[in-house]
Amino acid sequence: MKLLHLDSSILGDSSASRQLSHAVVDAWQAVEPDVRVIYRDLASDALGHLSAASLVAAGTPAELRDAAQRHEAELSESTLDEFLAADAIVIGAPMYNFALPSQLKAWIDRITVAGKTFSYTENGPQGLAGSKKVVIVSTSGGVHAGQPSGAAHEDYLKFVLGFVGISDIQVVRAEGLAYGEEPRAAAMKAAEQQVGELFAIA
């Protein structure tokens, strides 16, 4: 089984989502030893934003692309292929300014591709990305789950994954992390328990 592990926190070693996403991957490997992990750090190895140049590169026949267009097209294609090949995905998704990190949004922009991961039919949009399992690790300084303030964060991520056809989505959430040392420790402990429950190793 191929497991794509994404982190997007800009907070390095003090990142809550990195700690928890690694706990999820460790737990997954403990119950399924044949898991092959592909790790992508979207913060330290950031994808460029989808741009006019990206679209022009994609629309230019391979043999006519210049070096910059080849690089751009390769970036889009390899990111999409890596996503499509994954059986499972663990996404570290911190909240920054009530939204996902722009680095994670840049990844979403590369994998949400008409004709590849979704299509529009006469009955409306159809997801094409197959039966992947996804675990979202959602972290935030405040408490936003189920609130309008969480719409552009966890809710958006769930929506866009659903749009490309993924329905098996679990969330490990640590929220209220900015409320002080004790609440942070309690939130992290609760999230680690969620990981244990998810993989029945609590």
Q: Are 105 and 22 in contact (CB under 8 A)?
A: no
* 101 versus 110: smaller Cβ distance to ligand FMN: 101
Task: Give the orientation angle of helix 52-59 with respect to helix 67-85, to 10 degrees.
Answer: 90
Residue among 48, 35, 44, 47 at smallest CA distance from 15: 44
Count of H-run helices and E-run strands, the chain = 6, 7
Smallest separation, CB 37 to ligand FMN (Å): 19
- Check binding of 94 to ligand FMN (CB under 6 A): yes
**DSSP H or E stretch at residue 169:** strand 168-174
DSSP annotation of 114 reads B
State the helix-helix crossing angle for 67-85 and 102-111, rounded to 10 degrees: 90
Binders of ligand FMN among residues 45 to 74 (CB under 6 A) are none
CB-nearer residue toward ligand FMN: 90 or 164: 90
17 binds ligand FMN, rule: CB under 6 A: yes
Compute the least distance from the CB of residue 196 to ligand FMN, in Å: 20
- One residue of 142, 156, 158, 190 binding ligand FMN per CB under 6 A: 142
The residue among 39 and 163 lying less far from ligand FMN, judged by its C-beta, is: 39
The answer to whether 44 and 8 are in contact (CB under 8 A) is no
Q: Is 183 in the site for ligand FMN (CB under 6 A)?
A: no
Contact (CB, 8 A) for 39 and 5:
yes
Site mask for ligand FMN (CB under 6 A), range 163-182, x = bound: --------------xx----
Instruction: Check the CA dihedral 78-37-87-154 and report its sign.
Output: negative
Name the residue nearer to ligand FMN (CB basis): 16 or 166.
16
Q: Among 95, 100, 106, 108, which residue sits at the site for ligand FMN (rule: CB under 6 A)?
A: 95
Report if residue 185 touches ligand FMN, rule: CB under 6 A: no
Enumerate binding residues for ligand FMN (CB under 6 A).
9, 11, 15-18, 94-98, 139-142, 177-178
